[in-house]
Structure 1
Amino acid sequence: MSTSQTPAKADFDVIIIGAGISGINAAYRVQTELPNATYTILEARDTIGGTWDLFRFPGVRSDSDLHTFGFEWRPWQPKKAYADGQMILDYMKDAAATYGIDKKIQYHHHLTAADWSSADQLWNLQITANGEPKTLTAHFCIMSTGYYDYSKPLDVEIPGLDNFKGTIVHPQFWPSDLDYSDKNMVVIGSGATAVTLLPVVAETAKHVTMLQRSPSYILVRSSNTLQERVMHAILPRWLALKLVRLTWIIIPWIFFRFCKAFPTAAKSLVLTLTKTHLPKGTKMEPDWVPSYNPWEQRLCTSPDADFFVGLKTGKSDVVTGTISNVSADTITLDDGRTLHPDIIVTATGLRLCFAGAVALSVDGEKFDSPSKYIWKGMMIQDLPNMAFPIGYLHSSWTLGADATATMACRLIKHLQTQNVSAAIPRLALGGKEGMEDSSYQMSSGGI
């Protein structure tokens, strides 16, 4: 549904919320696809980068290759397809500076509430700017706020954790002065963070145990494949970069389709590959065989088999079990086994957070987002002129976020061409038939 009412003058045509990878990408699309539009980026923190500035735990890296996780308009050029957090942050800063996007960012601008005015056909944004209240208006908002809470980790109840007298750390808020050299560490969890963290801390710590309730699939990927080296050797650089990126899009997609079409064969294949990287004589049960099929939950990635190095040297191990209790210096499992860490790392996931916890309303009435459907994976039913760049679960985040940003620009351009002021997704009578009530088609408890 569209509205052709004459809009009031706004401070900006487009306001982008968030200067992370989705926000920087959205800004590029706005300034190239809508060259006459005015826009700004509001960032609550004091720097660019989002996740890649916030996360500082040892070994932090992307779980996706940077050829597809990076920007389509700024090809990833280093030879390593998997990069650490600092490399990603530097890449983002360079991309933003090259295209003048960094000049459009207003830091310390925390959006707290957004109200759509039907009378004025624009968004009124309530902001805390450097500690002071501020209001800005926009015809269209792009909410590049990611999917998790920046200020609070996921609460997971671990019996007796408060009794522990050692150090407890959550990766999201890793202390810069934490000294784990010659310490015994237990990392609770088996997701991407745990798999990323373990091989790096194992280099310095006395010993590291990854304690999991159940196993995850860990897929070994080469960070510099043979086909990439061949392409760069025989093709012009610009063409090699395009083809390398295309390869990283197509091959994982084919593998994903294979996993969905032939789950039993896919499980057998992944477990066979995993076994080749384990120390000789390692039994697959119970530590390495997940209870689900590949891509019913996200696969963890181990670039160049880094996760398995510590297992072979004895610097790290994996234990499967449920925590019965934590005492001052001991973790006791249900089966009676005990672990004696100096440091416990709770790599138990991220707390989901929609739209940066911004209070949304339409004409002063609270907007009930959970009761609504999503249009084209981009807009929310009954919510005017607001797009939400959400990445893919089965591929690189940025591919999905870029598709959303590109479509948002097409929509804005269409509104301008038709002299229409607002686009509002509506659910037709009987429109729920055949629609999914959940957009999250995975069995995992987190993302």
Structure 2
Amino acid sequence: MLDGNKRVQEAAASAFANLEEKAKAELKPYCHIIIQQFVKCFGRYKDRNMFILYDCVQTLAEHVGPGLQQPELVNMLMPALIARYNKVSDQSREMFPLLECLSYIAIALGAHFAPYAQPIFERCIAIMQTNIQDTIRASTNPAFDQPEKDFLVTSLDLISAVVQALDTPRIGALIADSQPNLFELLPYCMQDGSDDVRQSAYALLGDCAIYVFPQIQQYLPSIMAILIEQMDLREANRHGEGTGYSVINNACWSVGEIAMRQREGMQPYMDNLLQKLGTILYTPGVPESLIENAAIALGRLGIGCPQLLAPHLTHIAQPFINAISRVAWTDEKGHALKGFAQIVLCNPGAMEKPLLSFFLEMSRAPKEFLTGPGEPVNGYEDRPYESLKQVYAQYQAMIPTFDAFLGALPPDSARALRENYAS
């Protein structure tokens, strides 16, 4: 990789990137010598080979992750990256792979990225502002060309990585000090004509909901209006490439993350959200991942607003159960099941047809999922166990021949239900 010939450098760097993809975590013991060589390459490479070097660095960060958090490695790698970062102009196409590389590095380094975060965050904000202004200018004056959208995508992705990497007070301070404020720029990106920009914008929105939700709240009415509009399936194929599904996927996820924190405050948006999510659940040909994310969002909305969803339970229950049964047993699924259980408890009579299906899904829940420690959200412990237990007790009291009703389930499933939920 340090040969004087550019073609040898290119071949060696490409070969090493391939080696990293295969070796993955086995690279960990060799990080010191690898980074040592990378730093020398930063001082030698030009143009095309620099792009390949960024790929080598980000692939190492992707597979080694926290293994890069040793101070000696951080102190070796980051000055070389920052020196290059300071040389590259905002208009250079080299900015794309550089910002992408820094995204992987930020996630890998976590809190160790903090000393480098402020100038990088501020530059991303400046790049976003310039790109948005150029977009507005081009839309009103045909004499101007549309700006390159990769500048927006990589800036949004890097801010997402920084939001995930730093602790809440630090990222909160960065956002509070940003000029203009991040949440004044984000709505423009959420409506951009590029699917890639919108996809990254909704990913950032969801990350901000998780880590800095109080700073979003004052902007929530305008953000929710845009978000709901963008969840229209007709948007998914407007460019004929199907990439719009990924946009709606991220939008559904961000709705769920906002719902977990806004809770009862989601009431003003419920009618429109139910219409959008219900359409996704009922439309043939929609990708499974989008249907699953829509079901999770719907269930999470049930935690704060079950009474508003309960009148629609007859229509949403079966598609919800079908979708959620394909989701792994994660905290997100736990939130969705708790919310759905709350909806059911508000309108138990609406579950006549899908009740066995729901009981079957309840019976499959691993015990550690039901009773193990969950990840608290804004101080709430949202494990589904107590709500599911109440659902079981509700129908045990409502159905005179309850044991016979459970007999329609496979014996193992009926036994698991009794063991997990019977008082």
Give the TM-score normalised by structure 2: 0.26
Structure with a larger share of its residues in helix: 2
**Higher RCO (Cα < 8 Å, 6 or more apart):** 1
Give the TM-score normalised by structure 1: 0.25
Q: Which has the larger radius of gyration?
A: 2
Structure with a larger share of its residues in strand: 1
